[in-house]
């Protein structure tokens, strides 16, 4: 029988899978809790492989939930970014691109079964026979789904290898340049076809569409930074989320945004900015905990 303690050892991995499927921590946590409730309602049966059983239940629940999640995002005001996934202290040493905002947004464009097959096989390392058992399809079908998913991903620009120090160095250079309004310095850290995504969720000011290209992105960012800090300078704190160090920005003690970057050959090709207060709340809490 699976004890509560044993379930807790599985919870993190189950939440990781469900989060990659749905892009939302509250939804992922709900899915995992529902899986546990279903085991209890079934009379707490003996499980030959608890991890596989729970993963199968979570996968089925996620495939059902994706439909309602997509409908909600179709009504979302402005660009949608995945809910931040915070990292444990032990995880803050190596980058994890399997939960990067860039990859999560690409996965969002896959069909529900494509994303399930891709995540289970390519991220979690399950054989296609096991994937088929989990999602209720034939192995060959799952192989085709994962192949199609990879084709979608190959259409994205491939990032070069970068380490944690490289991310932090480029991040520091970006903020120094944008606060100074230094276009020459920004050209050293941004690609010409850089894209800026600002997620305000209709609750705070943010660009209603992605901002495309170096000229438009730098003009937008410099204007925002200069207008915001006319009287009070920004305070910035590093917080790990979605597998990489990000920067949480404060103005007069209030959290206003969180930045993270996608890099291509040592320069920033995507700037992701969380502005939605609901998504900033856990980042604000994490930033404050690091100061204790």
Q: Where are the domains of the chain?
A: 1-75, 96-158, 164-289
Is the domain 96-158 a CATH 3.30.70.1380 member? no
pLDDT at 269: 96
Residue 156: band (very low, low, confident or very high) from pLDDT cuts 50, 70, 90: low
Nearest to 120 by CA among 105, 102, 98, 101: 98
Helices (H) and strands (E) in the chain, counts: 11, 6
| Measured distance CA(159)–CA(141) in Å, rounded | 29
- Which of 81-85, 184-188, 252-256 is least confident? 252-256
Question: Per-residue pLDDT for 228 more than 90?
Answer: no
Neighbours of 213 (CB within 10 A): 15
Mean pLDDT of the chain: 91
Q: Is the pLDDT of residue 263 over 60?
A: yes
Domain 164-289, CATH class in plain words: alpha beta
Does residue 139 carry a pLDDT above 90? yes
Whole-prediction pTM value? 0.91
The region, left, alpha or beta by phi > 0 then psi within -120 to 50, assigned to residue 236 is beta
Confidence of residue 157 (pLDDT cuts 50, 70, 90): low
Which CA distances in Å does 138 have to 104, 117, 132, 133, 158? 26, 11, 5, 8, 31
Q: How distant, in Å, are the alpha carbons of 85, 144, 165, 175, 239 from that of 92?
A: 13, 35, 12, 21, 9
| pLDDT score for 46 | 83
The better pLDDT of the pair 173, 67 is held by 173
Q: Which of 132, 109, 111 is nearest to 120 (CA)?
A: 132
């Amino acid at each position: 029988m699976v004890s509560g303690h044993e379930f807790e050892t599985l919870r993190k991995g189950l939440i990781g899978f469900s989060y990659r499927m749905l892009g939302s921590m509250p939804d992922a946590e709900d899915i995992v809790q529902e899986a546990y409730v279903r085991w209890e309602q079934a009379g707490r049966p003996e499980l030959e492989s608890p991890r596989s059983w729970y993963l199968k239940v979570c996968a089925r629940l996620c495939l059902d939930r994706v439909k309602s999640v997509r409908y909600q995002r179709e009504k979302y005001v402005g660009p949608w970014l995945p809910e931040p996934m915070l990292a444990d202290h032990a995880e803050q040493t190596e980058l994890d691109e399997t939960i990067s905002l860039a990859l999560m947004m690409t996965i969002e464009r896959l069909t529900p079964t494509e994303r399930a097959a891709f995540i289970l096989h390519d991220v979690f390392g399950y054989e296609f026979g096991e994937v088929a058992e989990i999602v209720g399809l034939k192995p060959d079908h799952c192989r085709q789904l994962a192949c199609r998913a990879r084709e979608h991903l190959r259409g994205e620009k491939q990032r070069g290898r970068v380490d944690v120090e490289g991310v932090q160095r480029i991040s520091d250079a970006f903020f120094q340049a944008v606060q100074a309004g230094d276009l020459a310095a920004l050209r050293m850290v941004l690609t010409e076809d850089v894209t800026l995504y600002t997620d305000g969720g209709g609750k705070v000011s943010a660009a209603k569409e992605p901002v495309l290209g170096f000229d438009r992105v730098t003009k937008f960012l410099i204007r925002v930074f200069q207008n915001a800090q006319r009287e009070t300078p920004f305070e910035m704190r590093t917080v790990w989320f979605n597998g990489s160090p990000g920067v949480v920005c404060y103005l007069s003690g209030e959290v206003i945004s969180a930045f993270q970057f996608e890099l291509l050959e040592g320069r920033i090709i995507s700037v992701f900015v969380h502005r939605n207060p609901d998504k900033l709340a856990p980042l604000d809490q994490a930033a404050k905990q690091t100061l204790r």
